Amino acid sequence: MRDRGGPLKGIRVVELTKVWAGPYAGKLLAHLGAEVIKIESMSNLDEMRAYGGVDINSAPYFVSINQEILSVQVNMKTPEGLDLVKRMIASADILIDNIRPGAMERSGLDYESLKAIKPDLIQCAIKMWGSDGPLGYQTGYAPCFAALSGLTAMVGHEGETPKGMNIRYGDSTAGACAALACVAALHHRESSGEGQFIDLSAVETMTSLVGDSLFAWSVTGKVPEADGNYHPEMCPHGAYPCAGDAWTSIAVANEAEWQDLCAVLEAPALAADPRFADLSGRLANRLALDAELGAFTQRHDAAVLAEKLRNSGVPAFKSMSSLDLCTDAFLWEREAYRMVTDHRNGTRPIIGPSWRISPDPPLVERGAPLLGEHNAYVYAELLGLQEDEINDLIARKVID
């Protein structure tokens, strides 16, 4: 395999992952330089390869996640296939899965069994509720684990049923936390020679994102609720309507910012209004304040207003739609989006990693793999099989 550099160069990950959370963990490790091998088979495809009934080698959902991932085909329903998987795991540093609770154990891929063939293995299992316990058997979609976590209850317009974050929220963060725990475990192995089992709960991933609110509840007894855009120490604090159904977010933390906001909006009456003279007054009258502010912001283009406010020292940014994001010159220039190779179109833009690392940045250049694209590398180079052995495995659909 080519040298991609990066901080995780030399680390090998094997993944039995599907859909989003697991593949996202693999992606982050790959984007840090790890060699990540995804085990797949025709009879047990990642659903993302099939989404929309398109070509399994260019399915949009799949290729938008799995860049710099290697793909090897194995039919794990055959004993020989399972044995090959174990040999791959024996050559790896980390194994990640997010398949159904109990499935790894049924295949003899539980941590205790794998430790026998790879004593210092780091194994990470991503499940909705973790790997054991009274509800460990349950599975669910991302909005379910957001609801179970305590996060959904805290997101909504004030006084309404809490609707939570967008329905897509949750999987990717669970994957990010899995990657984080795996790299932490690499340090422990570096220090002690010992591997370990990491049991990740997607529900608790979401809970950890509201940790400060839960901790505060244990201190103050005040139950956190869906509170719109309320902030106890900033007012105005929210998204304000602008021309053409657009919105701009504004966060005012002190009196100077408040006066500057009123100046930019050419609203001297607001600036002088005794109801809004200080933070406590603005908080007490914030619904009235938001309505009055909205009447002013409505006259402006969202992006132009936000820029004017920032230039006056008031933190503000347009609330970005998907169209805004896709066409944002700053993001393209900074390589927040970048191009990778693509089997169908030659190149494809991807959402690049959130990090820049120097020197020795990890290269992210290759798009998602074809199914089995790296069979030869894995079987011949890693496992040392001969060509005729590989051909025989293909003929008997062990490699499938």
Partner 1 sequence: MTPETLGALAGLLVIETAERVSGEYTGKLLADLGAQVIKVERPGGAPTRRMAPLQGGESALFAYLNTNKQSVVLDLDLPAERAMLDRLMTRAHALIDDHQVDWTERRNLTPTQVAKTHPRIVHTLVTPFGQSAPASLQQCRSINVINAGGWAYHSPSETPQGKPPLKGAGRFLSDYEAGIDAALCTMASLLRLRRTGQGQSIDISEVEVQLNRIDCVLDRMLAGDADPSDTRTAYDMGGPGTSFACADGHVFLIMTTQAHWQALCILMGNPAWASAFRNDWLEFDCTAANVAAFRAEFSAWVAEQSKLPITEAAQKAGVAMVPVHTAVDLPRHEQFSHRGFFQNAEHPAFGAVAYPGACYRMSATPVRVRTPAPSLGADQREAGV
Site residues (CB under 8 A) for partner 1, limited to 63-82: 63-65
- Catalogue the E-assigned strands of 212-266: 237-241, 247-251
Amino acid (1-letter code) at residue 237: H
**Dist. CA 210–CA 226, nearest whole Å:** 12
Q: How far is the CB of 116 from partner 1 (least distance, A)?
A: 16
Q: Specify the stretch interacting with partner 1 by CB under 8 A; choose among 210-218, 278-286, 373-381, 386-394.
A: 210-218
Which residues in the 134-173 window bind partner 1 by CB under 8 A? 134-136, 138, 140-141, 143-144, 146-157, 161-169, 172-173
Q: Specify the stretch interacting with partner 1 by CB under 8 A; choose among 96-104, 278-286, 356-364, 385-393.
A: 356-364
Q: Which of 39, 48, 235, 261 binds partner 1 (CB under 8 A)?
A: 48
**Dist. CA 388–CA 266, nearest whole Å:** 79
**Dist. CA 6–CA 1, nearest whole Å:** 14
Q: Which of 36, 37, 61, 393 binds partner 1 (CB under 8 A)?
A: 61
Q: Which of 3, 106, 159, 212 binds partner 1 (CB under 8 A)?
A: 212
CA 253, 256, 259, 265 torsion-angle sign: negative
Q: Specify the stretch interacting with partner 1 by CB under 8 A; choose among 59-67, 278-286, 374-382, 385-393.
A: 59-67
Return the number of other C-beta atoms located less than 10 Å from residue 291's C-beta: 9
Q: Residues in contact with partner 1, total (CB under 8 A)? A: 154
Q: Which of 116, 287, 326, 376 binds partner 1 (CB under 8 A)?
A: 326
Q: Which of 117, 216, 287, 288 binds partner 1 (CB under 8 A)?
A: 216
Q: Is 261 in the site for partner 1 (CB under 8 A)?
A: no
Q: What single DSSP character describes residue 109?
A: -
**Dist. CA 174–CA 153, nearest whole Å:** 19
Q: Which of 2, 220, 329, 384 binds partner 1 (CB under 8 A)?
A: 220
Cα dihedral 111, 116, 122, 124, rounded to 10, equals -20
N residues, the chain: 400
Q: How far is the CB of 246 from partner 1 (least distance, A)?
A: 8
Q: How far is the CB of 259 from partner 1 (least distance, A)?
A: 16
**Dist. CA 178–CA 96, nearest whole Å:** 8
Q: How far is the CB of 369 from partner 1 (least distance, A)?
A: 16
Amino acid (1-letter code) at residue 64: S
Which residues in the 225-244 window bind partner 1 by CB under 8 A? 225, 228-229, 231-234, 237-241
Spell 159-182 as b/e; 16+ CB within 10 A means b: eeeeebbeeebbbbbbbbbbbebb
Q: How far is the CB of 392 from partner 1 (least distance, A)?
A: 37
* C-alpha of 131 from chain center: 21
Which residues in the 281-320 window bind partner 1 by CB under 8 A? 307, 310-311, 313, 315-320
Among 400, 347, 398, 303, CA closest to 82: 398
Q: Is 276 in the site for partner 1 (CB under 8 A)?
A: no
Q: How far is the CB of 378 from partner 1 (least distance, A)?
A: 24
Residue 6 in 3-state DSSP?
coil
Q: Which is nearer to partner 1, 124 or 399 (CB)?
A: 124
Q: Is 7 in the site for partner 1 (CB under 8 A)?
A: yes
Q: Which is nearer to partner 1, 301 or 324 (CB)?
A: 324
Q: Which of 14, 72, 92, 174 binds partner 1 (CB under 8 A)?
A: 174
Residue 238 in 3-state DSSP?
strand
What tokens does 7 get?
């901080």
